[in-house]
């Protein structure tokens, strides 16, 4: 009831934010392309045509062709699925594990907090890519291991953000009030703590989605993610690197795809943060009715 009401109001507020609309439009396009890419693509991803290799963008090949004469537009479209999949699954892993750990650490404090957060600190201490590379090295290259590796790498951020939020919320009087009426710990966490830290988590999720897609691109660039001949934006950048001077389109289009995706996630994340907090919602509503 009330939850739906809140969501409806949030969505209506989102509709009035041009940046959010732009970001959502780009993301929608991406999802459509990600789902239907193989059918929408004008040519097959691995349709080799050596007669037409390294052709400039033209009407028949809007993004040009690569060194094997494959259509770059088709490959960029099909690769969208991999990027979105990696982003969603790896951030999903990080969100689930990180929020869970942060919630328990922050709520119960004590030795549990110490043990969990020191483990997170150890993970945090490694540079993101180095840790991902190490995990992939242990598990073997491939799409699944890339997703797991990126998920592990981003878990500590969610644990930290969650714990910080929980620490401040659990001292609030309304949490004491919930304790006083005999609510159980799990109920307090679910009902009172989580909704109050949702805003930073949503922002962190959107940022992490963007970074996870970047990390996948980097792993693929290093040859540790998606394996050829399957297309991936990072892998395409890597392959195009040898032709920067002759064939700029090999790098520019996959790079632009990465850039647009990351930007869209950030725009939507920012807008969501503004809108999901009921106190801020009234401010934006007030501004709208005043203006």
Q: Please give the distance of CA 250 from its chain centroid, rounded to a whole number.
A: 24
Site string for another protein, 200-229 (x = CB under 8 A): ------------------------------
Q: At its nearest, how many Å lie between another protein and the CB of residue 201?
A: 13
Contact flag: residue 180 with another protein (CB under 8 A) = yes
**Do the Cβ atoms of 149 and 136 come closer than 8 Å?**
yes
Q: Which of 14, 178, 257, 275 binds another protein (CB under 8 A)?
A: 178
Contact flag: residue 184 with another protein (CB under 8 A) = yes
Q: Closer CB to another protein, residue 9 or residue 52?
A: 9
Contact flag: residue 198 with another protein (CB under 8 A) = yes
Contacts of 13 (CB under 8 A, 6+ apart): 274, 275, 281, 284, 285
Q: At its nearest, how many Å lie between another protein and the CB of residue 168?
A: 12
Contact flag: residue 67 with another protein (CB under 8 A) = no
Adjacent-strand bridge partners of 71? 65
Q: Which of 28, 122, 174, 186 binds another protein (CB under 8 A)?
A: 174
**Site residues (CB under 8 A) for another protein, limited to 134-173:** 172-173
Adjacent-strand bridge partners of 65? 71
Q: At its nearest, how many Å lie between another protein and the CB of residue 208?
A: 22
Contact flag: residue 179 with another protein (CB under 8 A) = yes
Contact flag: residue 183 with another protein (CB under 8 A) = yes
Q: At its nearest, how many Å lie between another protein and the CB of residue 288?
A: 17
**Site residues (CB under 8 A) for another protein, limited to 263-282:** 277-279, 282
**Site residues (CB under 8 A) for another protein, limited to 7-26:** none
Contact flag: residue 181 with another protein (CB under 8 A) = yes
> Residues in contact with another protein, total (CB under 8 A)?
25
Contact flag: residue 286 with another protein (CB under 8 A) = no
Q: At its nearest, how many Å lie between another protein and the CB of residue 277?
A: 8
Give the footprint of another protein on this chain (CB under 8 A): 1-2, 5, 172-174, 176-184, 187, 191-192, 195-196, 198, 277-279, 282
């Amino acid at each position: 009831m009330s939850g739906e009401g809140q969501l409806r109001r949030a969505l209506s507020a989102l509709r009035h934010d041009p940046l959010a609309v732009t970001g959502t439009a780009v993301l929608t396009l991406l999802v459509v392309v990600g789902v239907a890419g193989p059918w929408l693509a004008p040519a097959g991803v691995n349709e080799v045509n050596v007669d037409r290799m390294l052709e400039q963008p033209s009407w028949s090949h809007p993004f040009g062709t690569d060194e094997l004469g494959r259509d770059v537009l088709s490959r960029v479209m099909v690769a969208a699925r991999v990027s979105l999949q990696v982003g969603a699954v790896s951030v999903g892993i990080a969100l689930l594990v990180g929020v869970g750990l942060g919630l328990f650490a922050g709520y119960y404090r004590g030795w549990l907090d110490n043990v969990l957060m020191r483990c997170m600190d150890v993970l945090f201490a490694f540079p993101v890519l180095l840790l991902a590379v190490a995990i992939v090295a242990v598990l073997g290259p491939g799409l699944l291991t890339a997703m797991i590796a990126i998920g592990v790498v981003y878990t500590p951020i969610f644990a930290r953000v969650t714990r910080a939020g929980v620490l401040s919320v659990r001292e609030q009087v309304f949490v004491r009030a919930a304790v006083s009426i005999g609510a159980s710990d799990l109920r307090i966490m679910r009902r009172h703590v989580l909704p109050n830290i949702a805003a930073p988590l949503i922002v962190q999720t959107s940022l992490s989605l963007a970074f996870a897609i970047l990390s996948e691109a980097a792993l693929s660039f290093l040859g540790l993610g998606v394996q050829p001949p399957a297309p991936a934006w990072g892998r395409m950048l890597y392959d195009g690197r040898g032709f920067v001077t002759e064939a700029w389109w090999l790098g520019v289009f996959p790079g632009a795809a990465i850039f647009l995706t990351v930007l869209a996630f950030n725009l939507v994340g920012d807008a969501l943060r503004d809108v999901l907090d009921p106190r801020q919602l009234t401010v934006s509503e007030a501004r709208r009715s005043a203006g």
